[in-house]
Structure 1
Amino acid sequence: MIPILAILAGAALFLWPALLNGYPLVFIDSVSYLGQTLFPEWPWDKTPVYGAFLHLFHWGWSLWPPVLAQVVILSHLLWLTQRAMRGEATVAGHLLLCGGLAVLTSAPWFAVTLMPDVFAGIAPLCLLLLGFARDRLTLAEAVWLVLLGAVAVAAHLSHLPTALALVVFIGIAARGVVPALRAALPVAIAMGGLVAVNAWATGRPTLSPNGAVFLLARLQADGPAAATIRAHCPRAGWHLCGFVDRLPMDSDTFLWDAQSPPNRTLAGQPIPMGGMRLAPEAQDIIAATLREHPLEVAQAMARNTLMQARMFEVGDTLGNRHLAASARRAVARLPASELEAFDDAAQMRGELPMMAQSLLAPQVPVVLACLALVLVALLRAAWRRDRAVAGMLLGMLVAIAVNAFATGALSLPADRYQARIIWLLPLAAALGLAPRFGAGLTDTERVRARMNTWQTSSSSSPSS
């Protein structure tokens, strides 16, 4: 009973941004996930997993239950992580951890936002716990982490590169196939589910039927794909050949502007779902670009990854830009009291960024300080030969780095993409430096230590 109460109390600590706002936070893309069951419609650029997660809790009644579910999931995961890295989870330690993350990091802002962003940090923790701390989990907890990890990975395609990188990392760091296979299980479930859903919906068994369009948008904005199009047109017969003079252009403009090349014919007529229709051509252009401009692509990806790694402020997710035409449409399908609360919230009134400005001020210096503290924690774990803690710490750093690549190099550098996962760095610093129970030993190691102590004392005692 006490752990349950501690987990619920920890969850409550993460709720404060929603309470400050007066309603759960939303983003322009929230409508795409809510609309999957409320309209219903299936956006061509989103997976169906997070929309199903939201509906599991809101049922067309209120958007508060999904937020409550997210903060409880996060708090429980932190309880398990504390046990894995400290040897035991305590009420005081959990409340201190949740309170620190809630006040000093980006975690609470994404935990109360109706977007799959919170799962960007949840997915790595699930895989790392399965890979390095299985002996500190019950069977029920391990099964839960497999299911939660699968949902977290499948909630957004940008989570998949991070998950795959962590599986490889766990196999190397744990020096064994079994830990890697445990971590790979939720990833395999997520990938299998996405392939099955896409096969049913589009007739093509693929992870992402339209994902090539996003990479094309990035590569043409950086220049290499635009050069490929110019070199191959007009003989290639691509739709984009008619727009060579407009390329390169901003990747967001390329994807979403109604007047952009994917969304218009050469005669100026609109193309419904233009991005989706461009996917086969995008695959051909990307293949040619990678073949003909590999160095330029690598340089652009490295540059964008480094840019993304430096961008982790929360502010760009808090405004009301485009919300009236996006998220509000979905909330309007709920009871009138919900729409009224949504309209009265500080975010919709445009007041939330100013209200949050001073509250967000500590986050950047905290992240920078924690980067140094994590290195100290790694040295401490290495000195103690605590492979589980060292693996968890390094794994969180790997997740943060790969996320910067997956979002910056393959999409568009934006503060939101890195802010949603950067709270893993303060988490790593806090648990990496926290006092250990049993010196961070596993249960098996504790038993062996007791046996060695007993054998030593027996051999040193005088014979009868």
Structure 2
Amino acid sequence: MPDAFAGALVLLTWLAASRDFDRPGTALLWLATAFMALTHYTFLGVAAVAAVTTILGSKLMGASPKEIAKQTLAAVVMLASVITAHITANGLMFDRWTISPTGSWFLFARLNEDGLVPLWLEDHCGTDAPVPLCAIRHSLPQDSQELLWSKRSPLYPHIQKQIASAEYWRWIDMLGVATKGSIREHPLRFASSAAAATGRQLVSYAVLNDKCPSHCSVPNFIAFNPAVADNIHNSRQLRDTLHKPFIGSVVGIGTTLALLLLLPFLWLAHRRRDAEAIVLLWAITISLLANAAMAGALSDVQNRYQSRIVWIVPFIELLMIVRWRRQTS
């Protein structure tokens, strides 16, 4: 899962953008950042926000204009390389010269759940709205996850069952027409629903979201590598002996406490005049908001999306405690 790279991407971007560009290894750090950012198109935004926050923070903390210029150029080159790679790969493989060729599908589900798509279809069906989409508009489920993944969804035969076919791209384009029209005609309502979804996503996180033993993809894993079948069937996930409620409670409480302590840690960092800590904590805070906005507002609110990044908050706060205790002693 590309989610595994999200938190590491934020920390790596901060590390690359906060150190002296001429130090050995900095170019390699930027290369590793670009690789991680390539694993999911939403990571492009996360990396951009983390880089900009780090560079601005370094400037405010007194970094030289020459060093700021070098790091800014490195960040621009990294982001441009990732954008170019995404567009080129999608163009060559699907003839879709864009960063996210299927983004309209997820955004359509979000806007449909928020009520913007039904309003637009009601006003435009019979005039300039796609006729096939109008024909199924009354059977579209409001729940975004059901619309996206359920076999009962009227989109399922055209999209999930037709991936990368001409029919698939025709429906993706029609969904794109509806999403653009909905946002264009209801910008304030879209902004309001996006802000609300961002807020919900910010506090939506959980641990062990693997849906095992009853609803995980065990047959897919075994089909991919039959040699691990015995190990999979004997795993604690399949035997349901992981004590998930206890682990989830501990991690959930710890993570929530860490989020509540972000502002106090920032205050302590400023009081101690710890420039590195200040920049890192701000980079993490802004990245959390950016991740919540891109996932919740442009797709759907799910625990998995914020869980992929929120773990770095308690991790970094523990490192701050160790750092400050060592400085004091």
Please say whether Structure 1 and Structure 2 have the same fold, judged by a TM-score greater than 0.5.
yes
> Deviations for 1:353-386, whole angstroms, at most 9, x for unmatched residues?
x523223322222223223433233223223433
Q: Identify the residue that residue 17 of structure 2 maps to in structure 1.
A: 131
Q: Does 1:278 align with 2:171?
A: yes
Q: Does 1:388 align with 2:276?
A: yes
- What is the CA distance between 1:271 and its match in structure 2? 5.9
Q: Distance in 2 between matches of 1:263 and 1:435?
A: 52
Q: Identify the residue that residue 299 of structure 2 maps to in structure 1.
A: 411
Q: Distance in 2 between matches of 1:197 and 1:257?
A: 29
Q: Does 1:246 align with 2:130?
A: no
Return the index of the structure with the highest Cα Rg: 1
Q: Distance in 1 between matches of 2:161 and 2:170?
A: 9
Q: Identify the residue that residue 204 of structure 1 maps to in structure 2.
A: 96
Task: Compute the TM-score of the two structures, normalised by the length of structure 2.
Answer: 0.86
Aligned residues of 1:199 and 1:206 also touching (Cα < 8 A): yes
Q: Counterparts of 1:150-165 in structure 2 under 5 Å? A: 150-165=34-49
Aligned residues of 1:374 and 1:432 also touching (Cα < 8 A): no
What residue ranges of structure 1 are gaps of 5+ in the alignment? 1-114, 441-464
Aligned residues of 1:221 and 1:250 also touching (Cα < 8 A): yes
Q: Identify the residue that residue 340 of structure 1 maps to in structure 2.
A: 230
SS at match of 2:309: coil
Choose the corresponding residue for 1:172, options 47, 56, 59. 56
Aligned residues of 1:154 and 1:160 also touching (Cα < 8 A): yes
Pairs aligned (count)? 316
Q: Distance in 1 between matches of 2:324 and 2:168?
A: 52
Letter in 2 for 1:261: P
Aligned residues of 2:14 and 2:283 also touching (Cα < 8 A): yes
Q: Identify the residue that residue 311 of structure 2 maps to in structure 1.
A: 423
SS at match of 1:434: helix
Identical residues among aligned pairs (%): 26
Q: Counterparts of 1:244-393 in structure 2 under 5 Å? A: 244-247=137-140, 249-264=142-157, 272-273=162-163, 276-323=169-216, 326-334=217-225, 336-349=226-239, 351-352=240-241, 355-393=243-281
Q: Distance in 2 between matches of 1:367 and 1:244?
A: 41
Aligned residues of 2:141 and 2:153 also touching (Cα < 8 A): no
SS at match of 2:310: coil
Q: For residues 367 and 184 of structure 1, do their structure 2 counterparts lie closer, same or farther at Cα, with a shift above 3 Å needed?
A: farther
Aligned residues of 1:167 and 1:184 also touching (Cα < 8 A): no
Q: For residues 174 and 275 of structure 1, do their structure 2 counterparts lie closer, same or farther at Cα, with a shift above 3 Å needed?
A: farther
Q: Identify the residue that residue 234 of structure 1 maps to in structure 2.
A: 126
Letter in 1 for 2:35: V
Q: Distance in 1 between matches of 2:270 and 2:156?
A: 54
- What is the CA distance between 1:317 and its match in structure 2? 2.5
Q: Identify the residue that residue 112 of structure 2 maps to in structure 1.
A: 220
SS at match of 2:301: coil
Q: CA RMSD in A?
A: 2.7
> Deviations for 1:175-221, whole angstroms, at most 9, x for unmatched residues?
34433333344333322221121121012321111111111111111
Letter in 2 for 1:392: L
Q: Distance in 1 between matches of 2:47 and 2:305?
A: 16
Aligned residues of 1:128 and 1:392 also touching (Cα < 8 A): yes
Aligned residues of 1:311 and 1:413 also touching (Cα < 8 A): yes
Q: Distance in 2 between matches of 1:186 and 1:411?
A: 25
Q: For residues 360 and 138 of structure 1, do their structure 2 counterparts lie closer, same or farther at Cα, with a shift above 3 Å needed?
A: farther
Letter in 1 for 2:108: L
Q: For residues 433 and 133 of structure 1, do their structure 2 counterparts lie closer, same or farther at Cα, with a shift above 3 Å needed?
A: farther
Aligned residues of 2:108 and 2:117 also touching (Cα < 8 A): yes
- What is the CA distance between 1:138 and its match in structure 2? 4.7
Q: For residues 222 and 237 of structure 1, do their structure 2 counterparts lie closer, same or farther at Cα, with a shift above 3 Å needed?
A: closer
